[in-house]
A and B are shown apart, each in its own frame.
Chain A
Amino acid sequence: MAADDLWILGIHMTKFGKHPGQDLVDLASEAVAGALADGGVTMADMGVIGAGSLMAASAGIGQQLQKQLGQTGIPVYNVANACATGATALRVAAMAVKSGEVDMGLAFGVEKLSGAGLLAGGSRL
C-alpha cells in the first residue's frame, strides 16, 4: 500500500428502523463506538471528526458526540449537504488524512426521522 493511500480501517452502521428509546446521540454513539471497535482504535487515535445530522444541523452534533465518547480537543467539522451529508462527512475525514494533516479521522452521520413530528426524535435526559 502506498503511503498516501486512503483506507477505511473501521466502519459500522446501526440497524435502520424505529429506535424510540435512542436519541440522536445514542445512535451516533453506537455507530462511532462500533466503528472504533471495528478498527481496533480509540477516540484518542482520531485527528479530526466530520459529523452530520440534518435534524440537528445547528446543534453541533460532532461536539455532542465528543461529550459522550471523548473530548480530545480535535477539530470537528459539522456538515450539511442534504442527502449527501454522510458522504460529505466522510470527505472531511478523507481530505484531512490525504492532506497529511492527520493520519486517522472519524466521520459519522445520524438521523431520527421515524415519527418526525414536534421534536423530531427529541432527546433523552
Chain B
Amino acid sequence: MPGVFAQIGMEYGHRYGGTSFELFARISEKNHAHSTLNPLAAYSKRFTLEEIMGDLMIAYPNTRPMCSANCDGAAAAVVVSGAKLKTLSIEQQRRAVKISASVLTTDPWEESCQILPDVNTLTRNAAALAYEQAGVGPSDLDLVELHDCFATAELVHYDNLMLCEVGGAVDFFNSGATWRDGSMPVNVSGGLESKGHPIAATGIANVWEVATHLRGEAADRQIAGAKVGLAHVIGLGSACGVHILEKAA
C-alpha cells in the first residue's frame, strides 16, 4: 500500500511535473507540524525536513513519517433530522453541525485502472457530487481533512477535491495555501500521518475534526471563523467518502 500510493504520487508528477522526494516530504513536514497542536493525535512531534527525508524508507518516496501511523482508536457520531432537531433543547440546536453533503463513490472503469488503482476519478466524482449537494464550491471551504494515508496521496487529492486547478497541486502546495495559516488549511489535525489511522475510525474522526472547528471548540488549533469544512477518506478497492459540514446558522 505505501508502494501503490507512492506510485500514484509519482504518476501525478509524471503527468504534470514539479514533484520530487523533497516536495512530498514537505507535505509530511506540514502535517507533523500541525499535529503539535492536537492533543488527540497519536504522534504530536515536529519533524524537520531532514529528519523526514533521512528516516527509514518504506516505499520511495514515502519514508516512515510520511506514512499513516498504525494505532488504536474509535470515533462515533449521532446524526439527526432537522425536524427532530427542532424539538430538542436550544443548546443541542446551537452545537449541532449541518451535514450539507454526504457522498460515497466507487471507482469507475478506466484504462489501466486494474494495473494501478485510480484514486483520482472516484474522489473527483465524490467531491463534485458533494459540492453540488451542499451548494458550495471549494473556495467556500475553511478547512479540509483529507486522506493523507501517505504524503504522496495528499498531493493528488488537492487536485481531486478541486482545491486547486487541474494539474496545479504542486504550485498550490508550494504557495503555502495548505498550511494552517494559508488560504486552504489541510489536515490541521495532523492528518493520518501524525494523528494516526485506526482504519475504520478515520472516516468519522476527520468529520469530528471539522465539526469541532465549526463549533468553535478546537482550542489551540482552531481555524478562526470556520463555517464550512470538508472531510474525505478513500479506501483501496475502492471507495471514497466525502462529507461537507456547515456551522449552524
Contacts and interface: CB of A to CB of B under 8 A. Distances in A.
A114 to B, nearest CB: 5
- Chain B facing A: main interface SS: mixed
Contact of B74 (A2, A13, A81, A91): A13
A12 to B, nearest CB: 6
Interface string A92-111: 01100110100111111111
A94 B244 CA distance: 13
Given A13-B208, A83-B234, A35 B82 contact: no
Interface string B83-124: 111101101110011111010100000000000000000000
Contacts of B162: none
B84 A104 contact: yes
Nearest to A91: B104
A76 to B, nearest CB: 14
B241 A91 contact: yes
B243 interface: yes
B203 interface: yes
A29 B88 CA distance: 24
Identify which of A16, A19, A31, A54 gathers the most chain B CB atoms within 10 Å of its CB.
A16
Contacts of B234: 83-84
Interface residues of A, number: 68
A8 interface: yes
B168 interface: no
Nearest to A79: B200
Contacts of A91: 102, 104, 241
Contacts of A98: 81, 102
The 6 closest A-B pairs by CB, nearest first: A86-B203, A87-B241, A82-B235, A5-B82, A111-B198, A87-B203
